[in-house]
Structure 1
């Protein structure tokens, strides 16, 4: 289950929504750029369409990054495929499509680790975790993916459908007892920003055989500090920059 992090002597860099400083976020252009820049992992967001397909999209509504309107969950996959998800970023990316998760899995298999964030609209009672775990299992990619979410019920639901996919608990505030919490959720990774971390907390989690993901930052100073603290991973919109600033930790 911990094959993604096991045996690594350096902190891993995840490309946040792809190499999203260079290409429109959560698009195949952004994912290809992340691969080209040699990111260790690719972070992307997934939610369900009205006809039950998993699509790669961050916001619950379409306005910021497409020429569409309304909630993603109100549209079918075929409707979403007609939208332009690139022009908002640059004319160079006109007609870039919203990818289906299945397209990304087929493209990524054997190439790059995926950090898939489950974007759960709780009141809709969507079967998001089951749909995503079923897809991952059908592509035989359980050892190449970690599932992440701010919605910890989604991670608990994912665990019901897969005993093997690594799960990553995203928190914006400090947990009172993170080791106990991860154990109860049957999760493997705590994911928090630097203001919720300390060297002693990271050491405590490592001693309990958990991993620590330092959220997302484009600040080189944050990245250097987290590496000194022996972080396991951090996401960034600038994977090439952070990879150049990476140090090797010999343990």
Structure 2
């Protein structure tokens, strides 16, 4: 059974350290988060890194397409200077480095497959192979994506992995899509979600995860509707909920 916590740090803890870095993962743990969400991104020659954007400019001192960059180029970039002087020199982690860091800290992983393309066969098997080799507790791992074909392939290749389907707004066919891949979770943006939708997801037996709320009052009603977890840039705003029964 998936051991999902109520609070999931977004891209580590994006308010507290440069997003999707080892520093951000450690900041989430230090803030009391038991799970984090990070993005796995495919790059040239089959490399897998922890990064969000299609381009390098926003979060590094590099430029150009993330997917076309070599691993050598990626590892040479500074991914922390933009956040603050104290993070200058922080690197983009490889997928393997992030997994090792998470497990050293005892954190659960909500891994978003950040891939918009159609050639999921070129991306998904490598992600699953790395997880099979390195990830230890399958009940502290949730694979999620907006890319539904990627989730379909995840299910075909890994019958037991926990899957979450990500959407901005809950679509009319959400139940069919969750059932077709035997998902356990629906992830959606907290703002457009309605009470009716939330209660329907819960009544159907699925976990409901809402992103990205950074103040507790924004999702106060969502807990009442049945929300299981909140994804947040600032876990400090919510960690007190982990101690409530």
Q: What's the TM-score, normalizing by structure 2? A: 0.92
- CA–CA separation in structure 2 for the residues paired with 1:152 and 1:208: 20
Q: How does 1:173-184 map to 2 (within 5 A)?
A: 173-184=169-180
Structure 2 SS opposite 1:73: coil
- CA–CA separation in structure 2 for the residues paired with 1:22 and 1:67: 20
Match of 2:11 in 1: 17
Equivalent of 1:205 in 201, 204, 221: 201
Match of 2:34 in 1: 40
**CA deviation map 1:111-137 (0-9, x unaligned):** 011111111141565622211111111
Match of 2:87 in 1: 93
Quote the offset at 1:173 in angstroms: 2.2
Match of 2:76 in 1: 82
Quote the offset at 1:91 in angstroms: 1.1
Equivalent of 1:187 in 152, 174, 183: 183
Which aligned runs of 4 or more in structure 1 are off by greater than 4 angstroms?
A: 123-126
Quote the offset at 1:187 in angstroms: 1.3
- CA–CA separation in structure 1 for the residues paired with 2:29 and 2:60: 24
Change (3 A) 1:14 1:139: same
Match of 1:129 in 2: 124
Match of 1:116 in 2: 111
Relative to structure 2, which stretch is displaced further, 179-188 or 150-159?
Answer: 179-188
- CA–CA separation in structure 2 for the residues paired with 1:248 and 1:134: 37
Match of 1:71 in 2: 65
Structural RMSD (CA): 1.9
Task: Count residues in correspondence.
Answer: 243
Change (3 A) 1:43 1:32: same
**CA deviation map 1:187-216 (0-9, x unaligned):** 111111233433343333223221101121
